Structure 1
Amino acid sequence: MKLFLYFLLGIVYLFLQLGNLKADTYPDVIFDNSLVSGVYAKSEVRYEGDSWVENLNRHLLVSDTLFFTPGNALSLQYRSGKSGDWQAELKYSRQKLHYQLNNTDFLVLKIFIKSEHTSKKQLPKIAIRQRDNESEFLDLASFIEDFGYSTWLNVKIPLSRFKNLNMEEAVRAVRFYQNESDGKTHHIFIDQVEFLSKNYSTATLSSAAILSSAVAYDKQIHLQWQLPLTPSIRYIKIYRSEDNTNFQPVDIRPITMQGCFTYVPEVNRTYYYKIAWVDYNYVESPFSEVKEVRTQPLDKDKLLDLVQAAHVNYFLENYDINSGMYLPSRGKDKAVVSVKESGHAVLSLIVGAERGLIQRQVVLNRISRMVFFLLKGQHRYGFFPAYFDGRAGVPDYRGGEASYDVVATTTMIEALLVARQYFSNENEAEADLRNRITQLWQQVQWNKAIMLNTDDVLVEHISGIDTASNASLQYATLGGVNETMNAYILGMAAPKYKLPLSAYENGIKKIQFDSLHLDQPVDSIYSDTLSWSLNPYDFVHKQLQKSQEDTLISVLPLRGSILKDTIVYGEKLPFGWDNHSLLELYKPFFTINPVNLRDKEVDYLSAIKNYILARKRKDNEVGVGSTHSDIWGFYQFRDSIGGFRVNPAIAPAAMFALRDVGERSIDALYQHYGNRLFTEYGFRAWLDLRNDDVSDEYFAGNQAAVSILLENARSGLIWRLYSEIPEIKEVMEQLFDEHEKKN
């Protein structure tokens, strides 16, 4: 398993430099491949009158045999009637940060005209849809280079030709429309729909590609390559053979990756691989040398190793080279990094170091870079904004509001304290890291983040501009069984500016009832553009829109006990029953061992187990589209549409409380859906079995839950390190009696 990540260690810096160099020219993709065979669920077909478009459940069909880039293309078969109309839309869901339009860019795509009676006038029109508007239609044929049949044609359209296109607004979809009507059926194929910068390198790829290794893990083949700093490389193209003679293209990968998993149909079989670099005009380099690999099944522990390593790898690769912080997406003009998810990255990287997946020194250097960045970064009373510009080192305020995030700061500081405990060797580098972490820890003024007229109730944000005495009134208070527990414990354990111990009863064990909730994306601003979660537990709130003329009584939040004994699906649920994601219930226990949390009213470990069992029973009863009871974990369902999505982190991460439940889920997800759901970064963000769809993105919270909670279930590593933090140990002893401490 060490081979899975060791190769990255010596070249990760080079790789990220390459990514930064190409940030302004690298394309944003609308469509390159459907992750699911049969239909492309991120398409939508409409027609009326005597027009028609071939579809399955209103989605375009996928061609697995005819494609421009492996492994598939879209099939568009249509009839343009004189008294009808049709359209087919390709939704933009690839990038977490929407593509920023530039008037000098191009929309490019490949088409294959199968029906030889199709003239240029019968080819569709094309438009770009944005949130609030749509561009005017353009004739696709006007931009085809070298028109012909039964061959792939290049279409290149300057964005400047699309009238009514708002360059400041995000792209939502590319649409194809009926053009000239003739009553005949036409058939074309579409592939590689993407936005491309005007200026890209055309340097010839004369050197052979370098495939470093091919290692089999069950039906997953882990390929690694050595990518040169050649600016004209667009893709890595992967070829496979079963006889070392007849090689077929099976996959492509972007240059932001130094390796990947590729799926094979059988175990106990020998396969052969080679790769080629591909330039922006899709001209290939000479092939690499061939690597031979033989597949073999994995036992239970090896499968857990594989799953955990892949989720750790997500945080190893996705970071900003300047700050070391977690990078949700590589933007064109700046690197927006997330403070909260960087905390998740710290814990995951420590897991990787302890398991021998990453060299300890690499993790030390990465975390040290984060700490240096944060020490220089802008803060208010020690609290950080949710996001920074990793290159400029300044806050990146979302929605135009200058505020500082208490929960994001908590997650980061808490993870760094775990790192302080882990890097305990008496050498200069580790001692320096510990000292700098302590400096960050000591600067947090928890007493500046409290609700008016209290000394033990935290608010979710601190305003960056409002210094009035009642500034905290505009933000909701924190409380409940969620990651805000960690904020209160840190506040009570703080070396300076600490919260009183009463914050346990008045803060953690009470929630705010009078705040309005916002539907938030699972991964905050970087969520999959098609997915919106249910409200997270009790700390994400809409700002209270109260007039400054209101009386103090009318604006003070209404808070009450978290306890609401309920029995659902045969289980006693002490905090009531709702439709929130279990992932929010898990997050406090990334660091806190639930065994250590028990008071006279609540045994938290028993409560967690009951919630897991009740939610599993509900999901099994409703049905997620699978006949396997171990596949469960709704995070979203839309009854009016019938779309159900399973978060594949929820059931596996349950291992920390119910090991057998989590292990069975991992096995079921991998064995039945691993070919579409599991990659070099772990499980994808969601799986929709009813609509035969899968996300093409990942959520940091998901990847962290699997990497960290599996480790806690297997070794208790993060729990142990957290419990040994002197300040945390002291406050936990003060909060809980001798009975709980012995357990």
Structure 2
Amino acid sequence: MKRIVLSLGVASLFFAYSCKNSPSSKQQGVQSEIVKSDITDEQLMDKVQKDALKYFWEYAEPNSMLGRERYHEDNIYPDNDKHVITTGGSGFGLATILVGVERGFVPRKEAVKRLTIMMDFLAKADRHKGAWSHWINGETGKTVPFGKKDNGGDLVETAFLTSGILMVREYFKNGNTEEKALAKKCDELWRGIQWNWYTKGGEKVLYWHWSPEYQWEMNFPLQGYNECLITYILAASSPTYSIDTETYYKGWSRNGAYLTNKTKYGLPLYVKHNGAEEYGGPLFWAHYSYIGLDPTGLSDKLVKNYFDLNKNQVLIDYKYCVENPKQWKGYGSDYWGLTASYTRNKDGGVGYTAHMPSNDHGVVTPTAALSSFPYTPKESMDFLRFIYTKQPEFIGSAGPYDATSINYSNWFTPRYLAIDQGTIAPMIENHRTGFLWKLFMNTPEIQQGLKKLSFKSAKYGIK
């Protein structure tokens, strides 16, 4: 296992390892059920949401019940990490489970029991000034280093987890005795996170990492634009350890320096995507912060409409795949979507990279198009229908596999990652009903935090 350090500034999500002889044929995957072409759009969305839920419901780490970093149907794992849980991916898993409860895919009472186990585990797990580490041992609750010096708090992964915790709190806070107790546990976890500690002594910017052993040596300030917006929103909304408005505008937006007038395919980019300014970054940048944060009509002092920002990033990715300048076999209007995921190495083994138009290897990652449903419903549905009805080898026991390629003779890796599988059901649900957006945006602290940062959303009465 080794870490990839890229200029994108999303280091905590980029790891890689090679398995040169790892299986990538249908025989080594789990045979999926053939989906008939006459299935309706609603049935297809139900199916992929149910499938993605399996990752967090059936394949959860058995002690903590949180999301495992990865699940491999080929049973090849690095460093015997079957009990390594991921905090950020678990946050997406919490949102996925809420979708499962709301749609009746899982029993509400059973979900409450599971979620209570998760919150009890998180309360006892290692925390670093209130923040959790990127990886945690699901059996012991101890920090699992993501890298030598990355053995402490990871504020971004903590933010993804906290977004899920808050939505669980909001969903159950007016329920029965067990549900109210669960909501109380969520609230206590939220209040214990020392967001302002991660300004490194009051600098007007948040830092990604802090370690009791290595202190601030990772030295990675959170500056836009990438997937980290939700970290600032939560830090400003904290009722106990909040940051001020100046930290957001000086740190995240770099005093407005992250704005751009550049366009691609006639579509404005609005902001400079770190290290990917021509086309925009990998599509998870339009997903991770927006599991709960509703970009619809959302603005701040600098960005006039976050929905347009995200929609344009996705459409640029889509148009690039349709244009297909590298002439990859299979790319087109029903097979598209570039984001960080497993990939096919030149030697045929499995690696990891941040796919995007400026880093295109002929590998399409299903979560890219599927988690973009709110922005591109037609294009995402075309992809969903194609992959389930025309490419069944790309579908495993928990939905679409993490990485696929028609170009390389229908190559795929029979593996799943929590951070990729975990955004599918939530973002599709936000497209269908806005369920998670409503939960998060109506959270009292979030309302106050957004107002504090001069955000506006007529949809939620934030002026």
Is the shorter-chain TM-score for this pair beyond 0.5, marking a shared fold? yes
Q: Quote how far apart the aligned CAs of 1:589 are.
A: 0.9
Distance, in Å, in 2 between the alignment partners of 1:333 and 1:313 is 19
The match for 1:160 is: none
The match for 1:493 is: 237
**Which residues of 2 match residues 474-623 of structure 1 at below 5 A?**
474-510=218-254, 561-575=257-271, 576-578=277-279, 580-602=281-303, 603-622=305-324, 623=327
Q: Quote how far apart the aligned CAs of 1:585 are.
A: 2.5
Q: 1:440 to 1:706 in 2, by over 3 A?
A: same
Matched, 1:428 2:177: yes
Distance, in Å, in 2 between the alignment partners of 1:704 and 1:329 is 11
Q: 1:653 to 1:97 in 2, by over 3 A?
A: closer
The match for 1:239 is: none
Matched, 1:736 2:451: no
Higher share of residues assigned helix: 2
TM-score by length of 1: 0.52
What secondary structure is seen at the aligned counterpart in 2 of 1:645?
Answer: coil
What secondary structure is seen at the aligned counterpart in 2 of 1:632?
Answer: coil
Q: Quote how far apart the aligned CAs of 1:503 are.
A: 2.9
The match for 1:348 is: 96
Larger Rg: 1
Given the alignment, which residue of 207, 224, 231 partners 1:459?
207
Q: Quote how far apart the aligned CAs of 1:574 are.
A: 1.1
Distance, in Å, in 2 between the alignment partners of 1:334 and 1:647 is 23
Given the alignment, which residue of 666, 671, 692 partners 2:389?
671
Distance, in Å, in 2 between the alignment partners of 1:504 and 1:732 is 11
The match for 2:419 is: 701
**Alignment gaps of 5+ in structure 2:** 1-14, 72-76, 272-276, 348-359
Read off the aligned partner of 1:500 and give its amino acid letter. Answer: D
Q: Quote how far apart the aligned CAs of 1:645 are.
A: 0.4
Structure with the bigger RCO (C-alpha within 8 Å, sep 6+) is 2
Q: Deviations over 1:163-218 (max 9, x none)?
A: xxxxxxxx7549xxxxxxxxxxxxxxxx9xxxxxxxxxxxxxxxxxxxxxxxxxxx
What secondary structure is seen at the aligned counterpart in 2 of 1:656?
Answer: coil
Q: Quote how far apart the aligned CAs of 1:415 are.
A: 0.6
Q: Quote how far apart the aligned CAs of 1:482 are.
A: 3.4
Given the alignment, which residue of 33, 48, 54 partners 1:313?
54
Distance, in Å, in 2 between the alignment partners of 1:565 and 1:716 is 31
Q: Quote how far apart the aligned CAs of 1:661 are.
A: 2.0
Read off the aligned partner of 2:310 and give its amino acid letter. Answer: I
Q: Quote how far apart the aligned CAs of 1:370 are.
A: 1.1
Q: 1:327 to 1:569 in 2, by over 3 A?
A: same
Residues 452 and 473, structure 1, Cα contact 8 Å, conserved in 2: no
**Matched pairs, number:** 414
Q: Quote how far apart the aligned CAs of 1:97 are.
A: 11
Distance, in Å, in 2 between the alignment partners of 1:639 and 1:405 is 29
Q: Quote how far apart the aligned CAs of 1:358 are.
A: 0.4
Read off the aligned partner of 1:589 and give its amino acid letter. Answer: Y
Q: Deviations over 1:564-619 (max 9, x none)?
A: 22011111111242463112232111111001521353211112122222221111
Higher share of residues assigned strand: 1
Q: Deviations over 1:395-435 (max 9, x none)?
A: 11133333211111111122111000011334221121111
Residues 595 and 605, structure 1, Cα contact 8 Å, conserved in 2: yes
Q: Quote how far apart the aligned CAs of 1:737 are.
A: 4.4
The match for 1:646 is: 364
Distance, in Å, in 1 between the alignment partners of 2:268 and 2:247 is 26
Distance, in Å, in 2 between the alignment partners of 1:643 and 1:333 is 28
What secondary structure is seen at the aligned counterpart in 2 of 1:477?
Answer: coil
The match for 2:431 is: 713
Q: Quote how far apart the aligned CAs of 1:638 are.
A: 9.4
Q: Deviations over 1:524-566 (max 9, x none)?
A: xxxxxxxxxxxxxxxxxxxxxxxxxxxxxxxxxxx87211220
Residues 628 and 668, structure 1, Cα contact 8 Å, conserved in 2: no
**Which residues of 2 match residues 109-508 of structure 1 at below 5 A?**
172-173=20-21, 262-264=32-34, 297-329=38-70, 332=80, 335-401=83-149, 402-452=151-201, 454=203, 456-466=204-214, 471-472=215-216, 474-508=218-252
Residues 297 and 458, structure 2, Cα contact 8 Å, conserved in 1: no
Given the alignment, which residue of 604, 612, 626 partners 2:330?
626
Q: 1:578 to 1:737 in 2, by over 3 A?
A: closer
Q: 1:635 to 1:378 in 2, by over 3 A?
A: closer
Residues 733 and 741, structure 1, Cα contact 8 Å, conserved in 2: no
Q: Quote how far apart the aligned CAs of 1:329 are.
A: 4.6
Read off the aligned partner of 2:260 and give its amino acid letter. Answer: K
Distance, in Å, in 1 between the alignment partners of 2:101 and 2:362 is 37
Residues 570 and 614, structure 1, Cα contact 8 Å, conserved in 2: no
Residues 366 and 401, structure 2, Cα contact 8 Å, conserved in 1: yes
Q: Quote how far apart the aligned CAs of 1:643 are.
A: 4.7
Q: 1:97 to 1:356 in 2, by over 3 A?
A: farther
Q: Quote how far apart the aligned CAs of 1:634 are.
A: 2.8
What secondary structure is seen at the aligned counterpart in 1 of 2:224?
Answer: coil
**Deviates most, 597-606 or 411-420:** 597-606
Q: Quote how far apart the aligned CAs of 1:722 are.
A: 0.2
Q: Quote how far apart the aligned CAs of 1:715 are.
A: 0.6
CA-based RMSD? 3.0
Residues 446 and 498, structure 1, Cα contact 8 Å, conserved in 2: yes
Residues 334 and 389, structure 1, Cα contact 8 Å, conserved in 2: no
Distance, in Å, in 2 between the alignment partners of 1:251 and 1:625 is 23
TM-score by length of 2: 0.81
Residues 405 and 462, structure 1, Cα contact 8 Å, conserved in 2: yes
Residues 451 and 477, structure 1, Cα contact 8 Å, conserved in 2: no
Q: Deviations over 1:340-382 (max 9, x none)?
A: 1111111101101101000111221111111111111121210
Q: Deviations over 1:252-307 (max 9, x none)?
A: 98xxxxxx76345x95xxxxxxxxxxxxxxxxxxxxxxxxxxxx942121111111
Read off the aligned partner of 1:720 and give its amino acid letter. Answer: K
Distance, in Å, in 1 between the alignment partners of 2:122 and 2:371 is 30
Residues 207 and 221, structure 2, Cα contact 8 Å, conserved in 1: yes
Q: Quote how far apart the aligned CAs of 1:462 are.
A: 0.8
Q: 1:429 to 1:569 in 2, by over 3 A?
A: same
The match for 2:11 is: none
Q: Quote the sequence identity (%).
A: 24
Distance, in Å, in 2 between the alignment partners of 1:723 and 1:691 is 43
Distance, in Å, in 2 between the alignment partners of 1:334 and 1:301 is 34
What secondary structure is seen at the aligned counterpart in 2 of 1:687?
Answer: strand
Read off the aligned partner of 2:120 and give its amino acid letter. Answer: F
Q: Deviations over 1:695-740 (max 9, x none)?
A: 1111222212211100000010110000121100122233224757
Distance, in Å, in 2 between the alignment partners of 1:412 and 1:446 is 14
Residues 52 and 422, structure 2, Cα contact 8 Å, conserved in 1: yes
Q: 1:431 to 1:738 in 2, by over 3 A?
A: closer
What secondary structure is seen at the aligned counterpart in 1 of 2:362?
Answer: strand
What secondary structure is seen at the aligned counterpart in 2 of 1:634?
Answer: coil
Distance, in Å, in 1 between the alignment partners of 2:97 and 2:456 is 34
Q: Deviations over 1:130-151 (max 9, x none)?
A: x8xxxxxxxxxxxxxxxxxxxx
Residues 353 and 360, structure 1, Cα contact 8 Å, conserved in 2: yes
Read off the aligned partner of 1:298 and give its amino acid letter. Answer: I
Matched, 1:687 2:383: no
Distance, in Å, in 2 between the alignment partners of 1:586 and 1:497 is 26
